[in-house]
A and B are shown apart, each in its own frame.
Chain A
Amino acid sequence: MRLEPIANPGLVRRLGFPAVALAVTVVIGSALAMLAGADPFATLGLIVKGAVGSRFAALETLNRATPLIFTGLSVAVAFRAKLWNIGAEAQLYAGALVTVLLGTGALAWPALPLLAVIALAAMLAGAVLLLGPVVMKTRAGVDEVVTTLLINFIMLLVISMLLEGPLKDPMGMGWPKSAPLQKAARLPRLFEGLRLHWGFGLALISALVVWVIQTRTTLGYEIRAVGQNAQAARFAGIPVNRVLLKTAFLSGGLAGLAGFSEVAGLKGNLTLDLSPGFGYTGIIVAMLALLHPLGVVLSALFVAGVFVGSDSMSRAAGVPTYIADILLATALLLMVLALLLTRFRVVRD
């Protein structure tokens, strides 16, 4: 068996295969539900209901989608330049750390300037964390997949050390958590009376900004050129290394904002379980969105919906929540396969 490229895949092919991928995901999910002894249709129904079936559920999904939009954008921006940033998790924690450092009394400013400064500082922290691996990549050819991945573990240990030490909340009954943010450093709600904070608005704005950067600016053009063909980009006079550094700044900054948004918008303090792997899930979100910044919003909502829906279904139907991870992993693998099949035809010898 071989793969033959298709010059110009038709619309049926481009939409059909992803649709089949989703359908197969649902079938596999149903089979698993049956294995767990539950009615598959009821289980799926419960997942959908748990994700969007009520005002509370929908808001919960939006809240869960917020950090995923940021990390998804972070990954999408970097992958677009073929910069394999696997370290959104660490960059998220860097942003969260800075938010706590500046937001727990270090600056006694009014809310608006304080939030702006903290947000910028969080972006900077995430960016700086990615800058190191990228400089090592451009200077010495060190594989950024390895370095960014390892920094995730280092970062978690550093946060753990800080939460057990200097950052430990003196009023925290001994729990490893930071002091709560001052009132002015908390992100307000997006709408009065709705349990949805401004982080979600910021995430949507970020997606729009990234989309504008990619399609309308010279930087976006440079990033796409470097990602598609670095050799041709270098020949044409595009400063490839400088573009990679700028990309790192953007990507790390977006992941840093995820940490800011979670701490300032949702949690109000820093703990070690701030992120249940938002940085890694961001990779799934970005891949499902084909690295398109606006697609990231949709795929983040989908992924968040599956997580929130599965949580709620699990309580009602007794099927383990791990089904969410399986569903997402299956969806991702099948989607990658579907995308391959939209561009290649399988030929049997």
Chain B
Amino acid sequence: MSQQRDEAQVVLRLEGITKRFGALTANDAISFDLRRGEVIALLGENGAGKTTLMNILFGHYTADAGRVEVFGRALPPGHPRAALAAGVGMVHQHFTLADNLTVLENILLGTRSLWRPGLGRAAARARVVQLSADFGLAVHPDARVGSLSVGERQRVEILKALYRDARILILDEPTAVLTPQEADALFETLRKAVGLGLSIIFISHKLHEVMAVSSRVLVLRHGRLVGQVATTETDRHQLAEMMVGAEVTMPRLAAAVPGPALLTLSQVCTPDQGAQPGLKHVDLALHAGQIVGLAGVSGNGQAALADLLAGLTRPASGGLHLAKAVPQDWSPRTALAAGIARIPEDRHKTGTIADFSLTENAILESYGEAPFSRRGWMNWAEAERFAKQIITTYDVRCPGPDTRIRLLSGGNMQKLILGRALEPGPRIILANQPVRGLDIGAVSYVHSRLVAARDSGASVLLISEDLDEIMGLADVIHVISEGRLSPGFGRGEMSPVQLGGWMAGQGFEVTNAA
């Protein structure tokens, strides 16, 4: 496409979008154009303002200044329906589907009057089938959404937007829940959509995806648009630098020298928790001086394993052995006493208490022990000293130990949790999605700390949905699928595609038979 034609076919224009929350400027005079048949990648650290910008575009927030134009017409601010009607469709990170309805019903939901039930259903069905074929979105229109895989649900979300004649698709972190194969299929769909004249805004923090799928990259930092480059004229390294505003280094990994097993699971089963599968005859050994990576698509039993090792649940059958001693009463306290450091998946809901100060959060796991308390009396001076120690050692950026932790960014919150977990010198570290949602700077910090802990003889279990993270850090990789655990693979033994196969559930039957 020639440059001139591109200019003629601007489908979406943002002009000087500014949004302030109190003293924080979430979006600072952001302007850009989206052209027909183009994929723009919106790249930025957490808190860079991506979500705010999309919320303004979609009418959930009203901008303090600036205007949004779709197909040459200004959108009235603060009306989500106006954006929908103008042909903007959004696929959220967390799906908005009704599990008990079929695919077709979900797609039709809200598109027709309540007083004319069933009308035009056959025509609608034909249209959905046509759309699935055109865009390569294979999903059966009569399947119940509850029985679909995550990848299929995402296809339904996209179909939903397409059915409403969306000409502009916004995808918020669409690959976070997909296997590599599913992600590739998604990219294929996006290419088809672009070929059919749609325009796409792709929000992501995974640089290789951005490189693979987009034609232009916009980088946001601290609410400002700091860069706008054609994808062909840049590389991952430069993008990472633009995001953080500084050079990024990955931790250098020396080969691990594994020590004795510190924790073993033998044939452990746990009950299913609603939609979350329990563990199915899991064997796992965590050795000193080793990082074990647990790969898998979200919701395949990671939570069950994490809860078990954190002391929140007990094995229904099978054995949990700690350096050969079986703990009598398995609880968060005994887990902590056994030297297990826990970095929970959800730092806002599980890891911290939002309205507690940094000091109060720092001692959450050790408040009952000396020097923080004696005979039931708190020693707040000691607690504050401990918090200050974490703040300096782990570089937690905050106004002070009295600050309520809800005011901290995700990265600084995570650093406090990391400090709280690592400061006692744990033997086993359970890190569940330790870098999810963190900016690149914080990610490399957390990773270097985990590697340092490994090098000093701790055993690390790293649970992550990001295959790159697992492959970059883990000495041994296990894949979890529907609560079953694959055998351990050494570093470099498996390609991402092979691991993807295990993540999709292939190979387990063979192992069980053998």
> Which residues of A are at the interface with B, using a C-beta cutoff of 8 A?
4, 6-8, 216-222, 224-225, 228-229, 231-239, 347, 349
Distance A1 CA – B24 CA, assembled complex (angstroms): 22
CA distance A234 to B310 in the complex (A): 11
Residues B313-353 near A (CB distance < 8 A):
331-333, 335-336, 342, 344, 349-353
* C-alpha spacing A216/B383, complex, angstroms: 12
Smallest beta-carbon distance A254→chain B, Å: 19
- Other than the given A7-B21, A237-B335, 9 more pairs (CB < 8 A) read A8-B407, A217-B376, A218-B377, A231-B350, A233-B353, A233-B364, A236-B332, A239-B333, A349-B62
- Report how far A236 CA is from B373 CA in the complex, Å: 16
Residues of B near A4 (CB, < 8 A) are 21
Cβ contact within 8 Å between A6 and B22: yes
Q: B472 contacts the other chain (Cβ, under 8 Å)?
A: no
Inter-chain contact B312/A228, CB cutoff 8 Å: no
CB distance from A13 to the nearest CB of B (A): 11
Which of chain A's residues has its CB closest to B368's CB? A218
In B233-279, the 8 Å CB interface with A consists of none
Cβ B353 vs Cβ A235 within 8 A: no
Q: Is B445 an interface residue (CB 8 A)?
A: no
A237: contacting residue among B21, B23, B332, B356, CB under 8 A: B332
Q: Judge whether A235 and B332 touch: CB under 8 Å.
A: yes
What A residues does B352 contact at CB under 8 A?
229, 232
List the B side residues contacting A218 at CB < 8 Å.
367-368, 373, 376-378
Contact A7 B378 (CB under 8 A): no
Q: How far does the alpha carbon of A219 sit from the alpha carbon of B367 in the complex, in Å? A: 10
Cβ of B493 < 8 Å from any Cβ of A?
A: no
**A235: B residues at CB distance < 8 A:** 310, 312, 332, 342, 344, 350-351
Contact B378 A216 (CB under 8 A): yes
Determine whether the beta carbon of B21 is less than 8 Å from that of A228: no
Assess whether A225 is in contact with B378, with CB atoms less than 8 Å apart: no
- Inter-chain contact B353/A221, CB cutoff 8 Å: no
Q: Is B78's beta carbon under 8 Å from chain A?
A: yes
Shortest Cβ gap from A176 to chain B (Å): 44
Question: B174 to chain A: which residues have CB within 8 Å?
Answer: none
B487 close to chain A: CB less than 8 A: no
Select which of B349, B364, B376 is within 8 A of A236 by beta carbon. B364
In the complex, what's the smallest C-beta–C-beta distance from B65 to chain A, in angstroms? 15
In whole angstroms, how far apart are the Cα atoms of A236 and B311 in the complex? 10
Cα separation A232 to B416 with both chains bound (whole Å): 15
| Distance, CA A222 to CA B376, complexed state (A) | 11
- Give the chain A neighbours of B373 by CB distance below 8 A: 218
Residue picked from A216, A224, A225, A232, most chain B C-beta under 10 Å: A232
Find out whether the CB atom of A217 lies under 8 angstroms from the CB atom of B377.
yes
B28 within 8 A of A: no
Q: Complex: how many Å from CA A235 to CA B377? A: 22
Q: Which 10 A-B pairs have the closest CB atoms?
A: A237-B332, A349-B78, A237-B333, A236-B364, A229-B353, A218-B373, A228-B353, A236-B365, A235-B350, A232-B353
Q: How far is the CA of A232 from the CA of B406 in the complex (A)?
A: 14
- Is B377 touching A216 in the complex (CB atoms < 8 A)? yes
Q: In the bound complex, what is the Cα–Cα distance between A232 and B351 (angstroms)?
A: 6
Q: Are A232 and B350 closer than 8 Å at their CB atoms?
A: yes
Q: In the complex, A231 Cα to B332 Cα: how many Å?
A: 12
Could you list some 25 contacts between A and B, CB below 8 A? A4-B21, A7-B23, A8-B407, A216-B377, A216-B378, A217-B377, A218-B373, A218-B376, A219-B376, A229-B349, A231-B349, A231-B350, A232-B349, A232-B350, A232-B351, A232-B352, A232-B353, A233-B364, A234-B332, A236-B365, A237-B331, A237-B332, A237-B365, A349-B62, A349-B79
CB-CB nearest in chain B for A349: B78
Complex CA gap A237/B424 in Å reads 16
Residues of B within 8 A of A238 (CB): 364
Residues in A whose Cβ lies below 8 Å from that of B108 = none
Name the residue among A6, A222, A232, A236 with the largest chain B CB count within 10 angstroms: A236
Contact of B22 with A7 in the complex, beta carbons under 8 Å: yes
* Residues of B close to A220: CB separation below 8 A: 378
- In the assembly, what is the distance between CA of A4 and CA of B352, in Å? 22
Q: Assuming the A-B contacts A229-B349, A237-B311, are A347 and B62 also in contact, with contact meaning beta carbons closer than 8 angstroms in the complex? A: yes
- With a CB–CB cut-off of 8 A, which chain A residues contact B311? 237
Docked pose: A261 CA to B434 CA in angstroms: 54
Of the listed residues B344, B353, B373, the one surrounded by the most CB atoms of chain A closer than 10 A to its CB is B353
Asked whether, in the complex, the Cβ of B360 is within 8 Å of the Cβ of A221, the reply is yes
Residues of B within 8 A of A229 (CB): 349, 352-354
**Interchain CB contact under 8 A, A228 and B354:** yes
Chain A hits for B342, CB < 8 A: 235
Q: Does B355 contact A (CB under 8 A)?
A: yes
**Which residues of chain A are within 8 angstroms of B407 by Cβ–Cβ distance?**
7-8
Q: CB-nearest residue of chain A relative to B331?
A: A237
Q: Would you give the 0/1 interface string for B70-101, flagging 1 where the beta carbon is closer than 8 Å to chain A?
A: 00000000110000000000000000000000
On chain B, the residues within 8 Å of A239 by CB distance are 333
C-alpha spacing A12/B313, complex, angstroms: 47
Residues of B within 8 A of A237 (CB): 311, 331-333, 335-336, 365
Q: Are B376 and A221 closer than 8 Å at their CB atoms? A: no
Which A residues lie within 8 Å of B336 (CB)?
Answer: 237
Distance in angstroms from B398 CB to nearest chain A CB is 13
Q: In the assembly, what is the distance between CA of A221 and CA of B331, in Å?
A: 20
Tell me, in angstroms, the Cα distance from A248 to B407 when the chains sit together: 32
Return chain B residues, CB-CB under 8 Å to A349.
62, 78-79
Query: Quick check: B344 and A221 within 8 Å, CB to CB?
Result: no
In Å, the complex CA distance between A239 and B311 comes to: 12
CA distance A347 to B311 in the complex (A): 44
Docked pose: A312 CA to B119 CA in angstroms: 70
Q: Which residue of B lies closest to A213 (CB)?
A: B376
- CB of B328 to closest CB in A, whole Å: 16
Considering the complex, give the chain A residue whose CB is closest to the CB of B333: A237
Closest CB-CB distance, A70 to chain B, in whole Å? Answer: 23
